[in-house]
Amino acid sequence: MAAIMEFDKLHYRYSGTDSDALRGLSLRLPEGRKIAICGANGSGKSTMFLHAIGLHRPQSGQLSWRREGLAYDGASLRRLRRQVGLVFQDPEHQLILNTPYEDITYGLRNADVPEPDIRLRTEQIIETMGLSSIARLPIHHLSLGQKKRVALAGVLVLKPELLLLDEPTAYLDRLSERQLLAELDRAHAEGVTVAMATHDMNLAYSWADWILVLNGGECVIEGTPAEVFAQEHRIDELGLELPMLYELWRTLPQALQERSEPPRSLGAFKALLGHLPQA
Ligand SMILES: Nc1ncnc2c1ncn2[C@@H]1O[C@H](COP(=O)(O)OP(=O)(O)O)[C@@H](O)[C@H]1O
Ligand SMILES: [Mg+2]
C-alpha cells in the first residue's frame, strides 16, 4: 500500500510552550483510503494537519509527499497546497468572503485558474454539492452544517489528491453529518484519498477503512478498524471508547463472533443476528 504522504519522526513545539506537540510523529497515509485519525484532545491531530499543508514546519523530522521530502521553499509549498486540501474544524477560519459563490471563486483565483474556468468550476461544484439555493446568500446567514459544506466545496473545487478534514462532523446534526459524509464518499470514489480527524469512534469505525490513533504527539496504533479495535485494552488506556457496534458484537456468542469480521453497519450486525440459534 503506497503512502501518499509520510511523516518521519516529526518533532514540533509551539513557541512559548515547554513540551512537544509532535513527539517524533511517524505515520503513513495510505493512498486511496478513507482514513480516520483518532486520539484524545491534545494528541496532535490538528498540529499534524497544519504540517501536512506546510503551514507549520517541524523542528526536526521529514514530511514526504509521494516519497519526496518537502523542501519548504515557496514553489514547493504552493505545489503541496495544490495537492493537499485542508478543511479546518471551524469554517469561520476558511470562509472569508461574503457569499459561498464568491468564496469558492476566490480559492480558484488564488490558484491561478484561468478566469473562464473559474466560473465553470464554481458553478459545477455548487451544482454537484447541492448548494445552489444558498450560493448567493450572505455566509453569516448559513447554518453550521451549510458553512461546513461550503468550506468543503471551496477545497474540493481545487481538486486535491489528498483531502484532510479536521473534526468535520463536530457539532453537526445527523442530517448535515450524512450530507457531508456523502460528499466525502463521492470525492473518495473519484480517487481522492480522504483523511479525517475525529474523536467520534462510531464514525471512525463505520466510515474509515484505515485508522491511525495518536497519543501525546505520536502515532501509537494503526490498522484496519477490526485490527485497531481488537486492542480493546489499549483503546481504553488511551481514553477512547469502543464503537457501539463493536461492543455489541463482543457480547454475541463466541461461535457467532467467529463467523465474520466485526460488523461495521447496523445492517451487517442484524444479518449476523439472523444466525443466532433460536431460543
Ligand atoms: N497554537 C498553539 N499554541 C500552543 N500550543 C498549542 C497550540 N495549538 C496546539 N497546542 C498544543 O499542542 C498539543 C497538540 O494539540 P492539537 O494538535 O490541537 O491536538 P488535537 O487536535 O489532537 O486536539 C496540545 O498540547 C496543545 O495544547
Ligand atoms: Mg484538533
What CATH number did the domain enclosing 7 receive? 3.40.50.300
Please tell me whether residue 169 adopts helix, strand or coil conformation.
Answer: coil
Residue 235 covered by a domain: yes
Q: Is 39 in the pocket of ligand 1 (CB under 6 A)?
A: yes
Q: Is 215 in the pocket of ligand 1 (CB under 6 A)?
A: no
In percent, the amount of the chain with pLDDT more than 70 equals 99
pLDDT at 112: 86
Sequence-distant (6+) residues with CB within 8 A of 248 are: 269
Residue 273 covered by a domain: no
pLDDT at 88: 95
Residue 268 covered by a domain: no
Please give the distance, rounded to the nearest whole angstrom, from the Cα atom of residue 216 to the centre of ligand 2: 13
At 21-45, the pLDDT tens digits run 999 999 999 999 999 999 999 999 9
Q: Which atom of ligand 1 is nearest to the CA of 166?
A: 21
Does residue 193 have a pLDDT over 90?
yes
Residue-by-residue DSSP string for 36-103? EEE--TTSSHHHHHHHHTTSS--SEEEEEETTEE---SHHHHHHHHHHEEEE-SSGGGT--SSSHHHH
Residue 257 covered by a domain: no
Please give the distance, rounded to the nearest whole angstrom, from the Cα atom of residue 127 to the centre of ligand 2: 31
Q: Which domain holds residue 70?
A: 3-242
Mean per-residue pLDDT of the chain: 94
Sequence-distant (6+) residues with CB within 8 A of 221 are: 211, 212, 213, 228, 231, 234, 235, 238
Better-scored residue on pLDDT, 225 or 172: 225
Residue 277 covered by a domain: no
Residue 32 covered by a domain: yes
pLDDT at 171: 84
pLDDT at 278: 65
Q: How many independent structural domains does the chain possess?
A: 1
Residue 262 covered by a domain: no
Average pLDDT, integer, range 104-133: 93
Return the closest-CA partner of residue 220 out of 207, 208, 211, 230.
211
Residue 264 covered by a domain: no
Does residue 174 have a pLDDT over 60?
yes
Does residue 279 have a pLDDT over 80?
no
Average pLDDT, integer, range 5-18: 97
Average pLDDT, integer, range 156-163: 96
